[in-house]
Amino acid sequence: MFARWISPGSVRLTVLLWLFTVSVTLGSASELKVRVRLADGQITDELLEADSEKDSITVEFKQGDGTLITFVADFKQDVKIFRALILGELERGQSQYQALCFITRLNHNEIIPSESMARLRQKNPQAIRIAEEKRSTEMLSMNVAVNLTRTWQLSTHIHNMCNVAQEAVYTREADVRHWLDRGVVGSMFEPQAVQVPGLQSCGTVKDLWQPCLCSYNLRLEWYPCLLKYCRNRDVSGRGSPYKCGIKSCSKGYQFTYYVPHKQLCLWEEET
């Protein structure tokens, strides 16, 4: 398994298919667009979509370098999916886009429920959002590759999200054990050579065609992570809690995974 390069035509087709999917599911989905300040100071438009029928949330935005980040939380299956469409370096022999997909277990209370997200509204759409809480970066060793042909057992969202990154879909061994205990077929998982003796970080490798460990960093700069509760008090002094807002968070992720040659991890030279 290795990071897949995709042509501009494939990207356009994927975008058209995505737009079609959105249009046919609009009845059960709710969208919210917010302006968010990224870590580099740039402003981006972030799209949040909640689908109460599928019990899922999608967050999508473009980074300052042009990379398109998409995050899906599948509450039905307790799965979260990260996809990055990274602009290639044409002058170095790369295609226009590189696609990566990372799949991990969704833990409780990481993000607000889909029905709560669907009800979110903003009084000032032009306001620039900055997260109230900046959470620490999570380090993830993605030492298992995923075969897309069987991922419907894990989450129906995976194939739609990751079909442009067929040979660059990764997960963690710890999450695989959890899913196997739930009855997921193990043939969709393929262990990777992350712990091979002598395997170096791509940042230290000079030969572009040498295998190495690649690290990719991304940050969800703004997302509703918790519900806020207030309390009404009656004349007797008794209080009853009610939802009165959300808390916003920012969280970083560092994914480390095996690549057969450094050419698929050129951003390591910039770190």
Domain boundaries, the chain: 4-270
Amino acid, single-letter form, for residue 12: R
Of the candidates 73, 34, 36, 38, the one whose C-alpha atom is nearest the C-alpha of residue 57 is 73
Q: CB count, 10 Å around CB of 79?
A: 23
The three-class DSSP label of residue 160 is helix
- For residues 4 and 141, which has the higher predicted lDDT (pLDDT)? 141
Q: CB count, 10 Å around CB of 55?
A: 15
Amino acid, single-letter form, for residue 101: C
pTM of the model: 0.84
pLDDT of residue 43: 96
pLDDT of residue 96: 75
Of the candidates 85, 73, 67, the one whose C-alpha atom is nearest the C-alpha of residue 113 is 73
CA 47 – CA 49 distance, rounded (Å): 7
The greatest distance separating any two alpha carbons of the chain, rounded to the nearest whole angstrom, comes to 75
Q: What share of the chain is helix, strand, coil (3-state, %, to 5)?
A: 25, 45, 30
CA 104 – CA 102 distance, rounded (Å): 7
- Is pLDDT at 12 greater than 50 in this prediction? no
- Is pLDDT at 237 greater than 80 in this prediction? no
| Residue 271 pLDDT level (bands cut at 50, 70, 90) | low
Q: What is the pLDDT of residues 114-137, one digit of tens each?
A: 999 998 888 888 999 999 999 999
Sequence-distant (6+) residues with CB within 8 A of 155 are: 74, 76, 77, 79, 81, 103
Q: What is the pLDDT of residues 192-213, one digit of tens each?
A: 866 667 789 999 999 999 999 9
Amino acid, single-letter form, for residue 152: W
Q: What is the pLDDT of residues 56-112, one digit of tens each?
A: 999 999 999 999 999 999 999 999 999 999 987 767 666 678 999 999 999 988 999
227-231 CB contacts, 8 Å cutoff, 24+ apart: 227/112, 227/116
Q: Are 2 and 167 in contact (CB under 8 A)?
A: yes
